[in-house]
Structure 1
Amino acid sequence: MAHVNKVHSVRTIGLVARELDKTEDEIADLALGMDPEDGLIWVYSPEHEDGIMAFTYDGIENLEDLIADQEIAKR
């Protein structure tokens, strides 16, 4: 049986930043240690030849956990 990729969509870093009320730089810093297994995908296009971060649903959940951890650490 062939491997089936269950990811059917991703959201760009700009959209995720807006949804999580963070800047793109804050999201990029949080995502530094993330891998594709964590939900980080790089998307390339003529407009983004160097790539732009995008996140799967699981990736967004991981970012939310990282944000929560940061907020707890600030207390």
Structure 2
Amino acid sequence: MHESIRLLCDLIEAPPQEQIILQSLIEEYGFHNFWDQLEEEEFSDDLKNKLQAVKKILNALELGPSPERSESDGPRLP
């Protein structure tokens, strides 16, 4: 899990202080519940926006391919 936390912090370019907060929240709630708690935490607007973007991407990946996907998006996976 620590590798996933590090990758998330690198992706969103979280400052060291916020990395520590993110790590403790993810360790406390787990990744799945962390996203549910996100709205209740006090992060900078910039960090909150970046985390929301990651959350949207993860949700889209969980839902699978969209019916609007074009062939130029690449092959569809079964």
Alignment TM-score, normalising by the size of structure 1: 0.36
TM-score (norm 2): 0.35
* Greater RCO, 1 or 2 (C-alpha within 8 Å, sep 6+): 1
Max radius of gyration: which structure?
A: 2
